[in-house]
Structures are given as C-alpha cells and as structure tokens.
Amino acid sequence: MAKILVIHPEAQTGALITQILQREGLEVFAAANSAEGIAEFQRTNPDLVIAAEMLPLIERKEFVTHLRDMSDVPLIILGEKNESTLIVFLALGADTYLYPFDPKELVAKVHSLLRRRRKRVNSDFPFLTPTESTLLTYLARNENRVVTIPELIVRVWRGKDISKGSLKFYIHRLRKKVDGNFRLVNHRGVGYCLQTREVVRIGRRNGNDGSTAAMPWGCCRTRSMRTIRQWW
C-alpha cells in the first residue's frame, strides 16, 4: 500500500483530501505545517507528498528545498492559479502544481506519479538526491573504513547543524537504494562503514551438475566507485 503525506493548514480541507485518497486504497498521514511535515516525512517515509500553497511563501520554499535535499519523492503543490508561483515551485523541485483543487484530477496525478516512482525505484540505477550522492561518494572513497558521525557531518554537510536522527534517516534511505550493490554497516555510537562487493560467479562444480557459487562478503574485489560512476 502506497503511503501519502498531506500537509495542509486547514484541518477540514486536509481531512477531505485524506478521505479521497483513502478511498483509493492509499495510506495517508497528515501534518498542519512544514515543520510537522518534515518530522512526519522522516517518521513515515512516504511515497508521495501533497502540500498546500497556503503555507507562508518563505516556509513553503524552505520546505520544498529541505524535502528535495532529503528525497526525490514526488511532490504535488495545491494552490491558486499564479504563474509566477508555479514557476518558483517547479524550479525548486515540485513535480506538479494543481489549481484549483479538483478531487478527480488530484487522484489521477497521484496515481500517475506513483507509477512513475515505482518504475524509477525498480531501475537498475536508482536516483540519488544531491545529499545522498555526496554521502555515498564519501563513504565509497573510505570503503571498508568506519567513518565517524562527526566526520560525516563535517565532510558531507559542511558542519551544518544536523541531528543524529536526521543522519540516520539519510543512511536508512541510502541503504534501501544501494542494497545489493553495497553493504552499509552501522557501528552503533561510532559511525558507518561501506563494505563493497562484486558478486563473482566461479566455475566450481558441485558434483556433475555444473552449478556455480557466489563468493561471499569480504572475499571479493570491490567495485564501489565504478558502480557509482555508472549511476551518474
């Protein structure tokens, strides 16, 4: 079941949108402002976000910028017809801008964006946000070494104020995207280590069936930077 996060300051309208989406078999989470929205996003890890344009302009811009820094999740902005505002939000990273609010069009847009996201998630080379790319690159350059939490904050976020909870969120999303190519190990209270592998099929016969076996972790040569360059 796909998860949708709805951010709307008007409780009645937010509840209406929630009901519409729930009838479509979607799991819906709600927030009343951008701060609640970011916290709920990190807690629920939704597949799509719907945000109301009624939030203050500066707050909306900061929210979209923050969201795009964390994730490539589809984003729908609900608002009134305003071409300049539309251009601003599309430039910041919104996927679409609906005006006026129409339930049927909203449902159609949600399903369309979810289908597109499923195709992207199932791709051999997953899409990484700029922060995820920087994080993966730094870990890969230090593969098989435990990179401490303070070091990550300095090197990836340039010393910006980021909580350990936010860092765990980024690591969680990155782990989901690179699973199968890399092994991202958590050294609790210390930091993270990117262990890399190349699954190598060897021609060892088991009896007469000609079957082969894959070399285990730690026995294979690594392919971290080569794989990352393929994604780019």
User: Is 111 in the same domain as 140?
Assistant: no
Using the 3D structure, point to which of 54, 89, 121 is the last residue of a domain: 121
Let me know whether 88 and 145 are in one domain.
Answer: no
Residues 9, 100, single domain; the answer is: yes
Residues 117 and 138 in one domain: no
* Secondary structure string (H, E, C) spanning the chain: CCEEEEECCCHHHHHHHHHHHHCCCCEEEEECCHHHHHHHHHHHCCCEEEEECCCCHHHHHHHHHHHHHHCCCCEEEECCCCHHHHHHHHHHCCCEEECCCCHHHHHHHHHHHHHHHHHHHCCCCCCCCHHHHHHHHHHHHCCCCCEEHHHHHHHHHCCCCCCHHHHHHHHHHHHHHHECCEEEEEECCCEEEEEECCCCEECCCCCCCCCCEECCCCCCCCCHHHHHHHHC
pLDDT > 70: percent of the chain:
76
Are 29 and 53 contained in the same domain?
yes
What's the confidence (pLDDT) of residue 147?
93
Q: What is the pLDDT of residue 148?
A: 93
- Give the end of a domain, one of 121, 149, 179: 121
Q: For residues 202 and 21, which has the higher predicted lDDT (pLDDT)?
A: 21
Does one domain contain both 7 and 115?
Answer: yes
Is the same domain home to 88 and 67? yes
Residue 49's pLDDT is 97
Answer yes or no: is pLDDT of 206 > 60: no
Q: Averaged over 30-47, what is the pLDDT?
A: 92
Task: Tell which of 121, 145, 170 closes a domain.
Answer: 121
Looking at the predicted structure, is the pLDDT value of residue 169 above 90? no
Residue 51 has pLDDT above 60, yes or no: yes
pLDDT at 223 over 70: no
Regarding whether 144 and 56 lie in a shared domain, the answer is no
Q: Do residues 55 and 33 lie in contact, with contact meaning Cβ atoms separated by under 8 Å?
A: yes
What is the domain-level CATH number for residue 195? 1.10.10.10
pLDDT score for 44 = 94
Range of the structural domain that residue 54 is part of: 3-121
Instruction: Say if residue 112 is in the same domain as residue 143.
Output: no
Task: Say whether both 116 and 135 belong to one domain.
Answer: no
Contact between 49 and 14 under an 8 Å Cβ cutoff? The reply is no
Per the structure, the count of domains in the chain is 2
Same domain (yes/no): 101, 147: no
- Judged by average pLDDT, the poorest of 30-44, 49-63, 173-187 is 49-63
Q: Are residues 99 and 152 in the same domain?
A: no
Residue 46 sits in a domain whose CATH number is 3.40.50.2300
At residue 29, the pLDDT reads 97
The whole-chain average pLDDT of the chain stands at 79
Lowest-pLDDT choice from 67-81, 115-129, 179-193: 115-129
